[in-house]
Amino acid sequence: MREPIRPILVINGPNLDMLGTRQPEVYGHDTLDDVAALCRRTGEAEGVDIDFRQSDSEAEIMGWIKRARGAFSGILINPAGFTSTSIAILDSLLIFDGPIIEVHISPLFRRDEFRHLSYVSKAASAKIEGFGIRGYAFAIMRLAELARKAA
């Protein structure tokens, strides 16, 4: 019999709790609760549980990632403001033993130059940006597919 697929960990970095209020012309009108609902719906359709979290704390995010090894089949991370600054989060992600997909709601390639650098990308198997919150759904579909293949 096949092993059950381990859940997917969805990590949201700083200020993403303010989605819906925060610069709606850049990030849209959906709230973080809407993103969570989309992720859970997509997970249900794919037959995989979703553990959805947000933190403004780099240390807390690092702790979640370090404890994810062996417990989750994949990680979806929107590192938000830590994308271009956190070698520490990159190092934590490099400890994880499954696929990692980096998601950004907005198209970073056409925003400020300082947003173009991503340390997290060095640990990611794929990156989705500029699809709005739908990028989360695409990432979960792909992570579920990879988890099924690995099971």
Neighbours of 24 (CB within 10 A): 11
Q: Could you give the CA distance from residue 146 to residue 73 in angstroms, rounded to a whole number?
A: 9
**């959906």: which residue's tokens?**
30
Q: Is the dihedral of CA 42, 38, 120, 58 positive or negative?
A: negative
Q: What is the total count of residues that contact ligand DHK (CB under 6 A)? A: 10
Taking alpha carbons only, the member of 124, 125, 108 closest to residue 116 is 108
Interaction of residue 106 with ligand DHK, rule CB under 6 A: yes
Identify which of residues 30 and 145 has a Cβ nearer to ligand DHK in the complex: 30
Among 98, 104, 124, 137, binds ligand DHK (CB under 6 A): 104
Q: Which stretch binds ligand DHK (CB under 6 A): 48-56, 90-98, 100-108, 136-144?
A: 100-108
Among 32, 34, 115, 121, binds ligand DHK (CB under 6 A): 115
Report, as residue numbers or ranges, the catalytic residues. 27, 104
Interaction of residue 40 with ligand DHK, rule CB under 6 A: no
| Least CB distance to ligand DHK at residue 55 (A) | 13
Interaction of residue 148 with ligand DHK, rule CB under 6 A: no
Interaction of residue 127 with ligand DHK, rule CB under 6 A: no
Taking alpha carbons only, the member of 72, 46, 77 closest to residue 144 is 46
User: Which residues in 36-56 are b (16+ Cβ under 10 Å) and which e?
Assistant: bebbbebbeebebebbbebbe
Point out which residues bind ligand DHK (CB under 6 A). 15, 78, 80-81, 83, 104-106, 108, 115
